[in-house]
Amino acid sequence: MKEYKTLLFALSLTAIGLTTAIIILLFQSNLFSGMPITTEQPPEQEFPLPAPYQPPGSPETGTQPAVINLGSCSIDVEGPNDLPEQQDITRFCQGQGPLSLFASWSWDAVFGDGNNTLDACALFDNNGDGDINYSLCVRVIPDQQDNYRLVYHSTILYSCGDDKPDRCTNPEVRALSPGTSCTTGQQSNDPFDANVPNGPGDDFPDDTVAACSIDENDVGGFGTVLVNACSYPSGEPNSDPMDCVAFPASGFLTVQIEAIPNDQTVGSSFIISDTQGMRYTPLIFGSGASERYSLPSNQSYSVLEIVPPGWQLNSASCTDQYNQQVGTGFNPITDIHVSPGSELRCYVINGQPPTATPTETATPTATATTTLTPTPTLTPDPNLRATPTREHPGGSGNSSLLGISVLFGLLLLIVPIIFVLVFFRRRREH
């Protein structure tokens, strides 16, 4: 019985040796030669998508929408000198900080006369219906000691009846918080020069500017929109306005351009049309520049860019104050609906068209020649990561390793065979 166990052990060694030798031979043969073993799968190539446009002042998180674009200004829709200079308002601007608003407006005057006062108010809507909820008014007076130059006199805040779009009905005086204050002075920012019909403005380029920093809680809290600035008879915010910058109960459309590469000299003209055929043709100069326009509400508009020579329109889109896409189409963008107090923005990106690469024309030859086909060269894609590989040794440089491996496998095969032959010989002798 013991002899048979020894035989079984020898046969097992024979099988192990034979299997090992076969594996070594295959592993070193051409069967695996040149076949890389990959340790990592190549990643899929990713193409970055352009980030959506985010209006200035928009909160990155939270449920409150951004309703005011920092530093946006509107010019008088009736143009320059539409009223005598002390009644004429040329523009207003707005902005928003973390818990405050900014408002400014300009009188088309630098000097007054006698004891006349100039009164104008910023009008705020805090519920989106286009009617006025708050009115912040500033008075300037002539300084008789300085050639009647207009200087600051006072600021008054009113709450309003919310039933008129161009005045403060049922005005009630409200106390100003420490975070609300106004100043006045002269600045060279009259928007109407000699190239504008009926221009330039009086005392061009100087205007008298009122600038106010406002605690947003004084005018209804977050979401309040500055919708207009108007001049009024002395101290009467509920009277008919003498001049307003924007259309009553209007919405606003800001057009902003970007040029790639950056170019501060390129100018783009835009045609803004409504359903009644009215056209506004703003001309905007410089990459990053924008203009804000008051538009009659409850209508739909289209925006068409007249692309400047040497440029091409790469993209155009419009969003509302909640950063939601509005309008359809590309150029023009149509069906842009304007409601009272709405803040819309159209963002246009222009680029330079690619330069055509000249193509070389092959020169024909009369003598036929044998042409060697060049081996194609693979150009690496910089966006793809290299896949590491590991190749098994082979070739003349590894012949010694191959010989040692084969000898080891043969020994594992021959030794048990000899053992088996000796075993059967002894069996015959017995």
- So what's the pLDDT on residue 25? 56
ω into 48 cis (within 30 of 0): no
Q: H or E segment at 256? A: strand 251-260
Q: What is the full per-residue pLDDT of the chain (430 aa) written as tens digits? A: 555 556 566 666 666 666 665 665 555 544 434 333 333 333 333 323 223 223 333 222 222 222 333 357 888 888 888 888 678 999 988 888 888 899 999 999 999 987 889 999 999 998 888 899 999 999 999 999 999 999 999 999 999 999 999 999 999 999 999 999 999 999 998 888 887 888 888 889 999 999 999 999 999 998 888 889 999 987 789 999 999 999 888 888 989 899 888 887 877 888 899 877 777 776 787 788 888 888 888 889 999 999 888 899 999 999 998 899 999 998 999 999 998 878 899 999 999 888 766 665 555 554 444 444 444 444 444 443 333 333 344 444 444 555 565 566 566 667 666 766 766 666 666 5
* Domains of the chain listed by start with CATH number: 72-246 (no CATH), 252-351 (2.60.40.1140)
- So what's the pLDDT on residue 428? 66
Note whether 296 and 339 are within 8 A (CB). no
Tens digits of residue pLDDT in 352-390:
888 766 665 555 554 444 444 444 444 444 443 333 333
Pairing relationship of beta strands 225-232 and 267-274 according to DSSP bridges:
unpaired
- Kindly report the pTM of this predicted structure: 0.59
- So what's the pLDDT on residue 18? 65
* Amino acid sitting at position 249: A
Nearest CA-CA partner of 258 in 345, 201, 316: 316
- So what's the pLDDT on residue 7? 59
- Between CA 128 and CA 136, with CA 131 as vertex, the angle to 5 degrees is 105
Instruction: Point out which residues pair with 242 in neighbouring strands.
Output: none
- So what's the pLDDT on residue 11? 64
For residue 255, what are its two tokens? Answer: 């057009």
CA-to-CA distance for 92 and 73, rounded, in angstroms?
6
Note whether 69 and 80 are within 8 A (CB). no
The 3-state DSSP class for residue 315 equals strand
Nearest CA-CA partner of 237 in 101, 139, 140: 139
- So what's the pLDDT on residue 192? 86
CA distances from 380 to 35, 383, 385, 386 (A): 21, 9, 10, 9
CB atoms within 10 A of CB 332: 19
For residue 177, what are its two tokens? Answer: 């918080």
Nearest CA-CA partner of 42 in 379, 378, 383: 383
Order across the sheet with 134-143: list the strands. Answer: 172-174, 149-159, 134-143, 118-125, 225-232, 243-244
- Enter the DSSP assignment of 189: -
- So what's the pLDDT on residue 371? 45
- So what's the pLDDT on residue 220? 93
For residue 269, what are its two tokens? Answer: 């003209």
Tokens 């308002």 correspond to 89
